[in-house]
Chain A
Amino acid sequence: MNCRNIQERLVDYLTGDDDPVARNEIQEHVGSCAACREELETMTLAWTKLGVLPEQKPGPALRTRFYTMLETYKGRMDEEAAGTERRGRVRLADRFAAWWPKTPAPQMALSALFLAAGVMAGILLTPGPGRSVAIARLEAEVRDMRQQVSLSLLDRASPSDRLSGLSAASQVRDPNPRTLEALFKALNEDSNTNVRLAAVDALYLFRDNARVREGLVGSLTRQTSPLVQIALINLLADIKETRAAEALKSLIADRELRPEVRQKAEWGLLKLI
């Protein structure tokens, strides 16, 4: 076999896609041909070094965005099926109307949020004494409003509203106990899997809070959806919450557990111990 034939097969040799006979032929050839040996060594170096590039994880917002998009799409499909939505292009006003809450409490909260944001923008654009104090006060008010909006949305019947509520809660830097309670309620009691998954992502952002860590451990054995179980195991392993080890052991011991969840739980346990 000549050098050209050998070189055509080096990629298969490297990826292990060839048969033992072909491998032997290549090995014999490169043993006696310096040019092909050098070529194989250069390619092997590149193939091996590519392996040092680590797998990275996207931020939790990606999952929230995906599920919000999916819920919106599904909601639109359902509406179309029910014949309640006009066909054709959706005007900007229609989009705004679809997004704007339908009940008075969230409407008021959102209006107040916009008002506070407007006042804040005004102050920012107007220099003068006492500006920084006023800004700090308004910032605190906006934070509080955001939590109120989040709570209102989390309490609504539509899963896509509840997903928006979780998205709003993710913007809060320091959530108050009521917001945390609502997030755990979404994680542990919501009937929609997508909402529960988004709650895992939202709670991940507050992983430094001891109460949140404790709640996440407690939630693991309450979950029944494999997707949520896997997401929680990933999270607990990621934050190295060693108190989750017992919950993982109970999961593994459960005979009814889905094999993919068991595999993930065993992986998680290894990460924690």
Chain B
Amino acid sequence: MAPHDDSLIMTGVREGEVEKLAILFERHHLPLYNFFLRLTGNGAASEDLVQDVFVRILKYRSTYQAQSPFAVWMYQIARNAHIDFLRKRRDKDTVPLDDQWAEAASHEPQPGEALETQRDRALIRKALDSLPENKREILFLSRFQNLKYRDIAKLQGCSEGAVKTIVHRALKDLGRAYAALQEGVTS
């Protein structure tokens, strides 16, 4: 779908055609859910966060600028929602939820899925845990959310070069962590 089309729809929502938000929900809720799932490792929390993002979109719809791509604006809201989620989690002093994600996934292997793929998933998830929150977030935005470096730079309030440097370092750290874990498994 064209990002321009999303911007037109969101402009309609801003002007009062709020039912059009359903189109944006249908287009974006799945990648958004997976973005949160990769960050939080918890399905229920990720569903709450998706809902929170769309509630905020409605609440702040008057602030949407048509020249800005909708996805960039939405992920800006998503980042804020995630920061609030982390703050609340810290306040409640709850345990990190990543294990639940790994466990849920390992309990539901796809038919015919190779054992090696399952093992790979567990290793890469563990390796991802070793990255700081900000690096993981930027890496996911770049790898899975289809955002350009200049869009991520807008989100992060930094230069495009700085984003590339973070992605570079994140990949290097992740690759090393994965290789070390793999060595630990095979040795």
Chain A: residues with CB nearer than 8 A to chain B?
7-8, 10-12, 14-15, 17, 39, 41-47, 49-50, 52-59, 61-63, 65-67, 69-70, 73-74, 77, 193-194, 197, 227, 230
Contact = CB atoms under 8 A, between A and B. Distances in A.
B26 interface: yes
Given A73-B58, A227-B22, A45 B178 contact: yes
A93 to B, nearest CB: 23
Given A62-B29, A69-B51, A194 B22 contact: yes
Contact of A74 (B18, B37, B55, B120): B18
Given A66-B54, A67-B22, A69-B54, A47 B117 contact: no
Contacts of B121: 52-54
Interface in B1-28: 16, 18-19, 21-23, 25-26
Interface in B28-55: 29-30, 33-34, 37-38, 43, 46-47, 50-51, 54-55
B18 A70 contact: yes
B83 interface: no
A5 to B, nearest CB: 13
Contacts of A7: 168
Nearest to B173: A46
Contact of B21 (A11, A17, A57, A70): A70
Contact of B26 (A14, A47, A54, A227): A227
Nearest to B38: A53
A58 B30 contact: yes
B171 interface: yes
Contacts of B178: 45-46, 49
Contacts of B168: 7-8, 10-11, 43
A229 B21 CA distance: 18
Main secondary structure of the interface of B (DSSP, over half): helix
B34 A56 contact: yes
B78 interface: no
Contacts of B34: 55-56
Contacts of B86: none
Most chain B beta-carbon contacts within 10 A, residue among A8, A57, A67, A70: A70
B124 interface: yes
B149 to A, nearest CB: 8
A56 B21 contact: no
Contact of B55 (A43, A47, A69): A69
Contact of B46 (A10, A58, A66, A230): A58
Interface string B132-152: 000000010011100001000
Contacts of A53: 38, 121, 124-125
A62 B22 contact: no
A270 to B, nearest CB: 16
B180 to A, nearest CB: 11
Nearest to B17: A74
A69 B25 CA distance: 12
Contact of A58 (B33, B58, B164, B174): B33
Nearest to B121: A52
Contacts of A8: 164, 168
B96 interface: no
Interface in B82-112: 105, 110
Nearest to B140: A50
Contact of A70 (B19, B117, B167, B176): B19
B158 interface: no
Question: What are the nearest 10 A-B pairs in CB distance?
Answer: A42-B175, A46-B175, A46-B174, A43-B171, A46-B171, A45-B175, A58-B33, A49-B124, A62-B47, A52-B120
Given A12-B164, A53-B125, A66 B179 contact: no
Contact of A65 (B18, B22, B51): B51
Nearest to B33: A58
B50 A45 contact: no
B22 A57 contact: no
Nearest to A55: B34
23 contacts: A8-B164, A8-B168, A11-B171, A17-B149, A43-B168, A45-B175, A45-B178, A46-B171, A46-B172, A46-B174, A46-B178, A49-B127, A49-B178, A50-B174, A52-B117, A54-B105, A54-B110, A56-B33, A58-B46, A61-B47, A62-B47, A65-B47, A74-B19
